[in-house]
Amino acid sequence: MSTHSHPIPFADFAPPVRSQTPLRKAITAAYRSPEPESLAPLLAAATLPETVRTEVRETSRTLIEALRAKHRGSGVEGLVHEYSLSSQEGVALMCLAEALLRIPDSATRDALIRDKISAGDWKSHMGGGRSLFVNAATWGLVVTGKLTSTVNDRSLAAALTRLIARCGEPVIRRGVDMAMRMMGEQFVTGQNIAEALRRAIPLEERGFGYSYDMLGEAATTAEDAARYYRDYESAIHAIGKASGGRGVYEGPGISIKLSALHPRYTRAQAGRVMEELLPKVRALALIAKSYNIGLNIDAEEADRLELSLDLLEDLCFDPQLQGWDGIGFVVQAYGKRCPFVLDFIIDLARRSGHRIMVRLVKGAYWDAEIKRAQLEGLEDFPVFTRKLHTDVSYIACAKKLLAATDAVFPQFATHNAQTLATIYHLAGPDFRIGQYEFQCLHGMGEPLYDEVVGEDKLDRPCRIYAPVGTHETLLAYLVRRLLENGANSSFVNRIADPAVSVDELTADPADLVRAMVVPGARHEQIALPRDIFGRTRLNSAGLDLSNEHCLEMLSKALQHSATTGWTAAPVIPGISPEGDPRPLHNPADHRDVVGQVTEASDEEGRAAVRQAAREASAWAAVPPAERAACLEKAADLMQERMPDLLGLIMREGGKSTTNA
Ligand code: FAD
């Protein structure tokens, strides 16, 4: 806060994130750019010569056929074996386990099983029938490898009811318990780091690498963040010891989420983030450096990206971290900024002398990004709206990384055999350890990468991302995996569906995009934020408070609004206000005088009410359409002058920007 007796309002509103270099400006400019514009250069880059396309098709066909020939799943088979259930009952128990996982304490869980579930009245007690079984198809897919048409609400509810009638509540409880354990084992490597390190040994012996992720994210309190910090710290020591000096490329590493380490990891708190979060990340990096293991910063929601680039830049220039090639960063190909972020990172690596590890992913927050942009009325989406566009972006960005392996260590994280095969051929036959690696998620990618790791296979390394934590911390991660497995456009879903041919699975995404009527066009069923109400009305426009351009515009507009001499006084036709104006202070900073206000006297109040009563019948006679038009006009005027109003509200009410 300024020490002047008369502060200049908004003088230090949202100072820009660190360096506004041309490369950073390009990132900002691409944030919500129109989809065809973002995709065009990527499509050109992802268009491969015919010879490479043929090789890719052949390799992906081999991988897909090998995958399809494998006996998938078994989770439910365990249940089936234990309880002699049909697999429907197994899937139903999985659904139940998942629903119960959403209840935080075991006393309430038990109460739910006892009081509600044992009555077999699923629909009325689980907040609508579908909420319990919403992921049934996915579970069927995950645990049996099949999507069965008989997986529906009614049959699953009936299966559970039958089960209770036959075996009673203790069996349900044991079944749910087992289902929870299976779910955990499907997606989590161990409940603690020691267990995870132990479980990793068999696959390590077969040539797989590991990056451990302590489950937990989005800390909401300082205590949460402190706990996650301790978890990371002890995990790094344990992983470091287990690494035994194998180094960044051949030994295990750790992945961290910045949102776990700070409860206010948002653009609005950029100052605090750099002051409080950076030292924590730096401290963890120093420990990782002492063991020479890789430390990877996971990618989260799009609005946090620029902030995390600031952090990355500071880490790279930290004198104590010099000479260590274990700093890692994740970049999401579904983001329109992806190629520009890579340009920045490659340049940063060269400027700072680190070889940065870059994990390229497609991105796990797609649904949330789309919904958030619509909800807030933002100008466009930060992500592509067609899966094919993301696939094309991934390939174009992979090429960029493969062309810069002096500066970066590319880590290609995908479960898609077509994407994998493309990268394998793009990188070419000459391979040495440390050039690049593949990555997959524990419980999802092993069958595919069994065909890749090993001298008798494609002979390329793969690192498994291994979540570590208890069931209580699993949920957010689990939901992302369910969305991923469940989406009918996803590779893991399509490969399990016999109706999808191998030709379809091996098709080149750039070919498919070029064959579209308008290549690069946004998905026609995903309405832009302003159009979500269809023909009814336009959505109101929001302000993107994570966009540097918007913040800069707003900063100027707010400062300008503060130069207006604001006055407020009663407006009653025929009466001039009697009272004396008084200064109005900003409740958040009493030195700031927002304007002059004249209060209405009692008599002025009564006069206003009398006048309103006189006019009421005339207003009531105005046709509804005309009245609606007045409201719309008012709304348009408010929207047009939003920065002015925002500035006024922030100062008069002492509100934060988001609140205002
Ligand atoms: P595919 O089925 O080929 O692709 C699915 C992906 O396509 C979706 O996940 C989505 O990104 C994209 N997509 C789907 N529908 C659309 C659409 N309509 N428009 C545009 N795009 C669409 N994700 C993160 O966000 N941050 C991380 O830090 C992260 N770390 C990971 C680490 C590892 C080792 C792995 C394997 C994954 C990680 N992921 C992370 C998750 C990753 O984003 C997903 O696993 C990945 O997107 C799935 O892609 P795929 O190539 O395996 O499958």
Tally of CA atoms within 13 A in the half-sphere of 542 that contains its CB: 22
Nearest to 212 by CA among 197, 234, 201, 230: 197
Q: What is the pLDDT of residues 250-304, one digit of tens each?
A: 999 999 999 999 999 999 899 999 999 999 999 999 999 999 999 999 999 999 9
Residue with tokens 């700070």: 262
Which residue would you say has higher pLDDT here, 493 or 377?
377
Report residue 649 as tokens.
């509200």
Give the confidence band of 185 by pLDDT, cuts at 50, 70, 90.
confident
**Euclidean distance between CA atoms 594 and 235, whole angstroms:** 52
**Euclidean distance between CA atoms 27 and 65, whole angstroms:** 40
**Is residue 37 over pLDDT 80?**
yes
Q: Is 363 in the pocket of ligand 1 (CB under 6 A)?
A: yes
Q: What is the pLDDT of residues 46-85, one digit of tens each?
A: 999 999 999 999 999 999 999 988 855 445 556 656 655 6
Amino acid letter, residue 182:
M
Lowest mean pLDDT among 36-50, 300-314, 465-479, 592-606: 465-479
**Euclidean distance between CA atoms 299 and 369, whole angstroms:** 13
**Euclidean distance between CA atoms 539 and 529, whole angstroms:** 7
Compute the distance from residue 493 Cα to the ligand 1 centre, in Å: 13
**Euclidean distance between CA atoms 275 and 123, whole angstroms:** 50
Q: Atom 38 (ligand 1): residue with closest C-alpha?
A: 361
SS3 assignment, position 392: helix
Burial of 523 (0-12, 13-18, 19+ CB in 10 A): middle
Q: Atom 12 (ligand 1): residue with closest C-alpha?
A: 387
Q: Is 439 in the pocket of ligand 1 (CB under 6 A)?
A: yes
**Euclidean distance between CA atoms 40 and 30, whole angstroms:** 13
Q: Is 436 in the pocket of ligand 1 (CB under 6 A)?
A: no
Amino acid letter, residue 300:
E
Compute the distance from residue 358 Cα to the ligand 1 centre, in Å: 15
Beta carbons of 217 and 259 less than 8 angstroms apart? yes
**Is residue 116 over pLDDT 70?**
no
Instruction: State the DSSP H helix or E strand holding residue 583, giving kind and residue range, or none if neither.
Output: strand 582-586
Helix axes of 169-187 and 153-167: crossing angle, nearest 10 degrees:
130
HEC readout, 535-548: CCCCCCCCCCCCCH
Which residue would you say has higher pLDDT here, 493 or 308?
308
pLDDT of residue 15: 79
- Tell me how crowded residue 557 is: count the other CB atoms within 10 A of its CB: 18
Q: Is 298 in the pocket of ligand 1 (CB under 6 A)?
A: yes
Give the confidence band of 487 by pLDDT, cuts at 50, 70, 90.
confident
Beta carbons of 227 and 272 less than 8 angstroms apart? no
Nearest to 321 by CA among 277, 275, 366, 289: 289
C-alpha distance across the termini of the chain, in Å: 20
pLDDT of residue 566: 93
pLDDT of residue 144: 60
Q: What is the pLDDT of residues 206-237, one digit of tens each?
A: 999 999 999 888 898 999 999 999 999 999 99
Q: Which atom of ligand 1 is nearest to the CA of 491?
A: 2
**Euclidean distance between CA atoms 311 and 329, whole angstroms:** 11
**Alpha helices of 168-277 — where are they, by DSSP H?**
169-187, 193-205, 222-243, 247-250, 258-261, 270-272
**Euclidean distance between CA atoms 385 and 33, whole angstroms:** 12
Buried b (16+ CB within 10 A) or exposed e, 62-72: ebbeebeeeeb
Mean pLDDT over each residue of the chain, to the nearest integer: 89
Q: What is the pLDDT of residues 407-417, one digit of tens each?
A: 999 999 999 99
Amino acid letter, residue 43:
L
pLDDT of residue 536: 85
Average pLDDT over residues 537-546: 92
DSSP label of 15 = P
Average pLDDT over residues 328-345: 98
**Euclidean distance between CA atoms 291 and 43, whole angstroms:** 41
Residue with tokens 């920065």: 643
**Euclidean distance between CA atoms 653 and 577, whole angstroms:** 24
pLDDT of residue 1: 38
Compute the distance from residue 363 Cα to the ligand 1 centre, in Å: 4
**Euclidean distance between CA atoms 148 and 567, whole angstroms:** 68
Report residue 92 as tokens.
């139903």
Q: Which atom of ligand 1 is nearest to the CA of 441?
A: 36
Q: Is 365 in the pocket of ligand 1 (CB under 6 A)?
A: yes
Average pLDDT over residues 39-45: 98
Q: Which atom of ligand 1 is nearest to the CA of 492?
A: 2
Chain mean position to CA 103? 23
Chain mean position to CA 141? 23
Q: Is 392 in the pocket of ligand 1 (CB under 6 A)?
A: no
**Is residue 22 over pLDDT 90?**
yes
Burial of 168 (0-12, 13-18, 19+ CB in 10 A): exposed
Helix axes of 75-83 and 136-144: crossing angle, nearest 10 degrees:
90
- Tell me how crowded residue 151 is: count the other CB atoms within 10 A of its CB: 22
Compute the distance from residue 366 Cα to the ligand 1 centre, in Å: 8
